[in-house]
Amino acid sequence: MSQTTMNTKAHRGLKNRTGFLQSVRHSLTMAYRGLLKLRRTPEQLFDVTLQPIIFTLMFTYIFGGAISGDVQSYLPVIIPGILVQTVITTSIVTGVQLREDMDKGVFDRFKSLPIARIAPLAGALLADTVRYTIATVLTFAMGYVMGYRPEGGLAYVALAAVIVIFCSWAISWIFAFFGVIARTASSVQGISMIVLFPLTFLSNAFVPVETMPNWLQWFVNINPISHLVTAVRDMTNSGTVGWDLAISLIGAAVIVAVFAPITVRAYMRRT
């Protein structure tokens, strides 16, 4: 409580805006907080550890014979599909936890601190990429155990993993928005499932598009999830990148560009 620090503070110019670098720094600190929380409450990681294992096993053995003749030849189809589905579903939890977190007193302090308004949100979302990473690694590991050997090689598998994690982070902004505007955590879960369930299943993730009725093919082909799944298949199975990857990345960027600002605005308005 020394006088000197107070003096320097008074003489330092007070600015009404937070710079970009400062915002990044604040967000990283908030992400660090998210990681500390994860370490303190490891039970939060149940879904990202169990879901990849159970879903990969289940879907592969249920659909494998029917769709590709046998499990071995279904693996290159289903592993990228289940990867995208699992990791993106995991991002719902981000919105739910954000809602729970925001109801706690500590968010009052965050609001009263001279930090970038986006930081508490961006930090929470950033910390959750750890969860997506766990889900991604476990899905690939399960696939490997069941006999999946991606032709694209390790480098492309790693690249695919990064792309999926990035896209899930982008999509988590949608659920963060629900998290900020919804009144309870369970309603966030509800709305998010209604949005995500059709999106992940009305895609090429599990079943070849040709087997679907025409009107459904139309939707499946414009569904961004399909593009992401195709992009991941291209990378892991043949080591190629194409138009689908570009569409996925553009889509992710658009989601962030739209939802990050409106989420922050909703967060600031909320009291």
Spatial separation of the C-alpha atoms in residues 173 and 255, rounded to whole Å: 7
Binder among 66, 112, 210, 214 for other proteins (CB under 8 A): 112
Q: H helices of 148-207, where?
A: 154-181, 185-201
Q: Could you tell me how many residues of this chain bind other proteins (CB under 8 A)? A: 37
What sign results for the dihedral spanned by CA atoms 214, 63, 192, 24? Answer: negative
Helix (H, G, I), strand (E, B) or coil at 241: coil
- Interface with other proteins includes 1 (CB under 8 A)? yes
Nearest to 28 by CA among 132, 99, 107, 125: 125
Count CA within 13 A, CB hemisphere, residue 253. 6
- Interface with other proteins includes 41 (CB under 8 A)? yes
DSSP 4-25: HHHHHHHHSPP-SS--HHHHHH
Binder among 20, 21, 66, 109 for other proteins (CB under 8 A): 109
Nearest to 157 by CA among 129, 131, 135, 137: 137
Spatial separation of the C-alpha atoms in residues 60 and 115, rounded to whole Å: 47
Closer residue to other proteins (CB): 124 or 174 = 124
Closer residue to other proteins (CB): 43 or 210 = 43
Closer residue to other proteins (CB): 114 or 208 = 114
What is the DSSP code (8-state) at residue 153? -
Site string for other proteins, 46-85 (x = CB under 8 A): ----------------------------------------
Binder among 23, 45, 72, 111 for other proteins (CB under 8 A): 111
Distance of closest approach, residue 143 Cβ to other proteins, in angstroms: 34
Point out which span in 13-21, 80-88, 89-97, 228-236 binds other proteins (CB under 8 A).
13-21
- Interface with other proteins includes 36 (CB under 8 A)? yes
Binding site for other proteins (CB under 8 A): 1, 3, 5-7, 9-10, 14-18, 22, 26, 29-30, 32-33, 36-37, 40-41, 104-115, 119, 269, 271
